[in-house]
Amino acid sequence: MRAFQRDHGLEVDGVVGPATQAALGKGRRKRGGGRKASPIGKKALAEARKQLGAKERPSGSNKTKFGRWFGVDGVFWCNIFVSYCFAVGADYVICAGHGGAGVYAKGCTYVPTTEAWLRATGMWRGKTAPLPGDIVIYNWDGGEADHIGIVEQYLGGGKFNAIEGNTAVGNDSNGGEVMRRLRYVSQVNGFGRVHT
């Protein structure tokens, strides 16, 4: 909320008072009126495409160049990969100014925290036809969110392509590679569209 207030020239107090509510209302109407891909998300997507085929070394270790860059290596890295793509490709830090598990200076490691941040900042789009550059939050089992990626293209009929880190055919959330995956809207909690 503080980042929103700062970006909209409001008093930065973290409270949703009348001025902040009015600004939020204007933003919702403006964003809800059209379906345009986020320029920030499109830059992150371009970076994600450059990383296709990157793998952890050694295999099964969760050690990657993304983890080394992030400063936390050897852990599940799908959210670190998304953080990398947004920071390196678009000069945008995921979860900046947001408290929560897994938040670091360069982004976030924990998918439920990234989802909470998207919701809290008004960037959550829910289960809808996504646009290129949207952040996708997966939920394989109905519990907490499990995995994250960047939408590459909506294919229609509830199908889309995404680029994800730490995935593989047969191991959706800990597969050790950056891959393009065919996914379904039925597999997600929803999508987020990053904006300033």
* pLDDT for 182: 98
pLDDT above 70 coverage of the chain, percent: 84
Given a cut of 60, is residue 57 above it in pLDDT? yes
Rounded to whole angstroms, how far apart are CA atoms 72 and 134?
A: 24
Given a cut of 80, is residue 32 above it in pLDDT? no
CATH of the domain at 123: 2.30.30.30
The separation between the first and the last C-alpha atoms of the chain, rounded to the nearest angstrom, is 12
Residue 30 forms part of a structural domain: no
Residue 83 forms part of a structural domain: yes
Residue 75 forms part of a structural domain: yes
Type of residue at 87: A
Residue 152 forms part of a structural domain: yes
pLDDT band at 14 (very low <50, low <70, confident <90, very high): confident
Rounded to whole angstroms, how far apart are CA atoms 168 and 172?
A: 6
Rounded to whole angstroms, how far apart are CA atoms 2 and 96?
A: 10
Rounded to whole angstroms, how far apart are CA atoms 25 and 41?
A: 23
Residue 15 forms part of a structural domain: no
Domain enclosing residue 90, as ranges: 37-192
Report the domain count for the chain. 1
pTM tops 0.85? no
